Homo-oligomer: A and B are copies of this chain.
Amino acid sequence: MEKPLILVTNDDGITAPGLRTLIQLMKEIGEVVVVAPDSPQSGMGHAITVDNTLYSQKVVVDKEKGAPLEYSCSGTPADCVKLALQEILDRRPAIVVSGINHGSNASINVIYSGTMSAAIEAGIEGIPAIGFSLCDYSWNANFEGAKAEIQRIVAEALLHGMAKGTVLNVNIPKTDGKRPKGIKVCRQARANWKEQFDKRTSPNGKEYYWLSGEFELLDKGEDTDEYALKNGYISIVPTQFDLTAHHAIQHINNWNLHE
């Protein structure tokens, strides 16, 4: 039987340890092709390259025997998926996996997430897709603990497919190599970032800012991704790209919008 084709991408760039870990895990499940940004793209949201040129080249990162085909791309994670599907792959992948991101994409972070934008881009094309993120921003984050769970989630996704119009946002608690307690299917927690701008002056006297902020959880629910992660579980949130707030349509229909 033909092995399933697995497209692997991320937003931290093609050399990121999280991506290299995901490639190794996916090689045991299917035939892997990697198309990933040539430089970090964190915080890029669902950006695409519309007014600029896009470079892509075959690269060899892993010299092992049986290493997958790999391509770097000058664009965003969403660009990588578009380019892979349209130009690079010779058949439609069975699944697209993105990550493992160095840092959380739980709760409101999904909105800013390049990792998830790659998964969503695949989902728009009707391809099952999963974004994986570890709640540890360090480049030397320990990805050991959840290896078995990552493989299990991908295997189940290949078996069952996705509910129409959805992809999966999987976040993994920081366990420093220990197994997480298990897996919880969750909803996205309500949260925001309390922004702080660090105002500085450049050597030539120009004012500039660094964006930083503090995460603020606004949700006491026990069915949220943040709750699962805080309690040592992997969270899976089925994530949709139909952003219609159907419940709000009636609210607006009561407005006086007609002469």
Residue of B nearest to A237 (CB): B244
User: Which A residues, 10 to 27, have Cβ-Cβ distances below 8 Å to chain B?
Assistant: none
Secondary structure at the A interface, as helix, strand, loop or mixed, is: mixed
Q: How many copies does the complex hold?
A: 2
Instruction: Indicate with 1 or 0, residue by residue over A196-216, a CB within 8 angstroms of chain B CB atoms.
Output: 110100100011111100000
A252 to B166, CA, bound (A): 11
CB distance from A64 to the nearest CB of B (A): 27
Do the beta carbons of B249 and A239 come within 8 Å of each other?
no
Tell me, yes or no, whether A1 is within 8 Å of chain B by CB.
no
* 28 pairs from A and B in contact (CB 8 Å cutoff): A40-B51, A42-B51, A43-B47, A43-B48, A43-B49, A45-B45, A46-B46, A46-B111, A47-B47, A49-B211, A54-B197, A54-B211, A82-B195, A83-B209, A86-B195, A86-B197, A87-B197, A153-B257, A156-B256, A159-B255, A160-B255, A162-B248, A165-B245, A182-B257, A185-B252, A238-B244, A239-B243, A240-B243
- For the complex of A and B, 5 pairs with smallest distance between CB atoms: A45-B46, A238-B248, A163-B248, A45-B45, A240-B245
Interface residues of A (CB under 8 A from B): 40, 42-51, 53-57, 78-79, 82-83, 85-87, 108, 110-112, 117, 120, 124-125, 149, 152-153, 156, 159-160, 162-163, 165-166, 168-169, 182-183, 185-188, 190, 192, 195-197, 199, 202, 206-211, 236-249, 251-258
